Amino acid sequence: MHFFDIITPMKEKYFLLAGTAVLGAVTSFAAIRAVTPMAWDGNPNCWQMKRHNEKMAAVANGGAKVVFIGDSITHFWENAGKSQWKKYFADGKYKALNLGTSADRTEHVLWRITEGRELDGYEAKVVLLMIGTNNTGHYPFEKEPPIDTILGVKEILRVISEKQPKARTILTAIFPRGATADSPLRVRNNVVNKELAKFADGKKIIWCDFSDKFLDANGRLSRDLFPDLLHPDAMGYEIWASAVLPLIERVFAAEEGETIPSVWPSSPTMYCYGGSVASQPQSGFPSFCWWGRGRPLEKRNEIVDGPAEYDVVMVGDSITHRWEREGGEGRELFQKLKKTYSILNLGYGGDRTEHVIWRMENGELEGYKAKMFAVMIGTNNHGRDIDGIAAGVKRIVDDIRTKHPESKIVLMPIFPRGAAADDPKRLGNEKVNAIIKGYADGETIRWLDFNERFFNAEGKLTKEVMNDLLHPNEKGYEIWWQAMGPVVREIVGH
């Protein structure tokens, strides 16, 4: 099975666009904007639509073997990069096609390559994609968190694979913007780039990041190369061409199935951090396949489609996830509870503290209010780096407090694991619990410890409540709700 085939289909809705004779009668899309095909302002006479029609005339001529897709940075191969385009790409075996449109975001590119059919009717060898800076640059963080932009690019890659099954995609890192390394929009784009790099498999998708070629040793972007600190000048396009031409040649010469290595910065410091891993943001989605399993999109859709305020938001790992997961031991009880309470479950199987931090800081705290957050995380850190794990829990609590000052936080200890009291992982969890208990103030952050309820009369953890001595079974989830229910009723008010 190809890894694109495992992607959970987008949740469908239907929306009638203006100018349907040109734009198509309906557009099927998921809830978040970044993965929703959108034809600009819906005006069939807008300049973007005129450019689209011009590009469709070029598509009809056929023969394009190299296709560039993107926004104004790609569009401007026809302006600041005009001489480089003519020199390297326009003629000969490439017959390159520029499908860049100024101000485009992922949703616009999706419209162009689905309903707009800009990839139909010809067979390319290489598609070069760079998109996303307008997603992060045109909307404030709370309206376009990094997770949405990443999901938008992922969906574009899926459609490219569908429309051009024989082509390889050179996925290019979003170019640096802003003068310094700490420029807010550059930081947001760097978060996106770090995840996009995981999509490369060397066969269908090749990662290409040469951002360091635009920057000095301190990460400063020069106006000599980027006059507006966003768009390259002619020399910037020369650098771009010199970076991608060897990859294009590799693709043209490659045998079917041959792996082509990605291009990385010579000093990719933007992807590094110091200190404890457990207390630093790190995505728990290690590859395209993990992103493609659908839970990140599912959760962002649920948030966008959900109520303005939730009664309860649950934050955690698989122990929390199994409250609602198909076949999960807590699912039946969870469905009953959802008839009384509006609940958002932000549990992800396998997550550690650093993964939850990434999710909390890159999209999953945006777009709603909550009366209460229930937090339990840390068992997948396996009791290593006790202080770091505790610091990770503290950062999660602080993130929630910052984004949701209106909410109460119910902080729970990491659940016991392993049958014996001297199980090393259980002992590690207990050391973390002893520290994080001190984060509760009894008012805005409440400590709820009911771990003893999972033990039998001899003080042992048994399969009667946790079949694998880690995840609660149906009886275990009943114990959880018996302990948490009164707190929920007090805070929520019913």
What mean pLDDT is reported for the chain? 91
Q: Where are the beta strands (DSSP E) in 395-476?
A: 408-411, 445-447
In this predicted structure, what is the pLDDT of residue 267? 52
Supply 411's token pair: 């902080």
Q: Where are the beta strands (DSSP E) in 268-348?
A: 309-316, 343-347
In this predicted structure, what is the pLDDT of residue 11? 34
Contacts of 23 (CB under 8 A, 6+ apart): 17, 39, 42, 44, 115
In this predicted structure, what is the pLDDT of residue 285? 87
Share in percent of the chain as helix, strand, coil (round to 5) = 45, 15, 45
Give the tens place of pLDDT for each residue, 90-149: 878 899 999 999 999 999 999 999 999 999 999 999 999 999 999 999 999 999 999 999
Across 437-444, average pLDDT: 97
Burial class, 72, CB count within 10 angstroms (exposed 0-12 / middle 13-18 / buried 19+): middle
Give the tens place of pLDDT for each residue, 146-169: 999 999 999 999 999 999 999 999
Give the count of alpha carbons within 13 A of 423, CB side only: 18
Contacts of 391 (CB under 8 A, 6+ apart): 276, 278, 279
Indicate whether 410 pLDDT > 50: yes
Place of tokens 């700490």: 182
Question: To 5 degrees, how large is the angle CA 188–CA 190–CA 192?
Answer: 75
Global confidence as pTM: 0.90
Alpha-carbon gap, residue 393 to 397, rounded angstroms: 6
Place of tokens 């469709």: 56
In this predicted structure, what is the pLDDT of residue 150? 97
Alpha-carbon gap, residue 143 to 284, rounded angstroms: 22
Indicate whether 22 pLDDT > 80: no
- Hey, what domains does the chain have and what are their CATH numbers? 3-8+45-272 (3.40.50.1110), 307-492 (3.40.50.1110)
Identify the active-site residue in 5, 216, 224, 468: 468
Indicate whether 13 pLDDT > 50: no
Give the count of alpha carbons within 13 A of 209, CB side only: 25
Identify the active-site residue in 75, 108, 231, 471: 471
Residue 86, SS3 per DSSP? helix
- Calculate what percentage of the chain has a pLDDT beyond 90: 84
Indicate whether 7 pLDDT > 90: no
Give the tens place of pLDDT for each residue, 329-382: 999 999 999 999 999 999 999 999 999 999 999 999 999 999 999 999 999 999
Alpha-carbon gap, residue 38 to 446, rounded angstroms: 44
The verdict on whether 242 is a catalytic residue reads no
CA 401 to chain CA centroid, Å, is 22
Indicate whether 184 pLDDT > 80: yes
CA 160 to chain CA centroid, Å, is 19
In this predicted structure, what is the pLDDT of residue 197? 95
Identify the active-site residue in 28, 222, 262, 318: 318
In this predicted structure, what is the pLDDT of residue 4? 38
Burial class, 326, CB count within 10 angstroms (exposed 0-12 / middle 13-18 / buried 19+): exposed
Give the tens place of pLDDT for each residue, 59-72: 998 889 999 999 99
Give the tens place of pLDDT for each residue, 42-54: 788 899 999 999 9
Supply 253's token pair: 């010469």
In this predicted structure, what is the pLDDT of residue 44? 83
Across 432-447, average pLDDT: 97
The verdict on whether 318 is a catalytic residue reads yes
The verdict on whether 471 is a catalytic residue reads yes
Across 431-439, average pLDDT: 98
Q: Where are the beta strands (DSSP E) in 81-192?
A: 97-100, 126-130, 168-172
In this predicted structure, what is the pLDDT of residue 95? 92
In this predicted structure, what is the pLDDT of residue 269? 45
In this predicted structure, what is the pLDDT of residue 275? 63
Give the tens place of pLDDT for each residue, 282-334: 998 887 777 767 899 999 999 999 999 999 999 999 999 999 999 999 999 99
